[in-house]
Amino acid sequence: METLSVAFFFIALTFAAYFLLNLIYIKFHYSFLMPALTATFIIVLFLLATGISYDTYMIGGEWIDRLLGPAVVSLAIPLYKQRKLVLDNVVPVLAGIFVGVVTGMSTGIALAKAFDFSHLLILSVLPKSITTPVAMEVSEQLGGIPSLAAVFVMIAGFTGIILGPAFLRLLRIESAIGIGMGLGASAHGIGTAKALEYGPQEASISSVAMSLSAVFGSFLAPVFVWIFFL
């Protein structure tokens, strides 16, 4: 009985934090007010202030966590709806995603290795440019730390939207396909939200780049670990 009320409390807390902070985000619309960031921050502060352990929080949290798997499966639906866009640009789209995944994973792993970070951290950095739920599963399977992977994914996302627009202009990446691909392949869902500000075409390409990067990334991540840690 007590476990049940604990579970209910933390589920309610997470929902309440998310919905309230989402209202604030909708009102002001600054990227750093995204509820994934602010709600996580508030809950972490709450746990630190009350001294409640993460394990206790997860008695409720795990029920929300279980919805991640079916949500990733659902990503197949927008991709299916955009299949014509992919088929019309099959070479640029697939090549862009492949090059993006290879660049992201190889530079991440090589730099972290060069600066002597632990194996555990490197395996959590590796999937940083793929969408959070998949990145967590990938890092867990390889022996990394899913929660750290989630934070690294967030850092990649914010890099993409804060520095991305100026960087893309500097590189003269100005076509819809270039902008959408650049944002989606490096900054996943957060980048896709930014791509929407450019236009519907950029957003569609970005969302395609995000879902296919997750697929390519989960295939290639074990290969990179094998190459770099042989």
Q: Which of residues 94-133 bind another protein (CB under 8 A)?
A: 95-97, 99-100, 102-104, 107-108, 111-112, 115, 117, 121, 125, 128-129, 132-133
Min. distance of Cβ 9 from another protein in angstroms?
13
Pick 23 or 67: Cβ nearer another protein: 67
Asked whether position 202 contacts another protein by CB under 8 A, the answer is no
Binding to another protein (CB under 8 A): which residues in 55-74?
Answer: 57-58, 61-62, 64-65, 67-74
Q: In whole angstroms, how close is the CB of 36 to another protein at the nearest point? A: 4
Helix 132-142, helix 200-228: angle, nearest 10: 10
Q: How far is the CB of 141 from another protein (least distance, A)?
A: 7
Q: Which is nearer to another protein, 2 or 122 (CB)?
A: 122
Residues near another protein (CB under 8 A), total: 103
Considering beta carbons, is residue 4 or 155 the nearer one to another protein? 155
Residue closer to another protein, measured from CB, 4 or 16: 16
Task: Give the burial class of 50: count Cβ atoms within 10 A of its Cβ; 0-12 exposed, 13-18 middle, 19 or more buried.
Answer: exposed
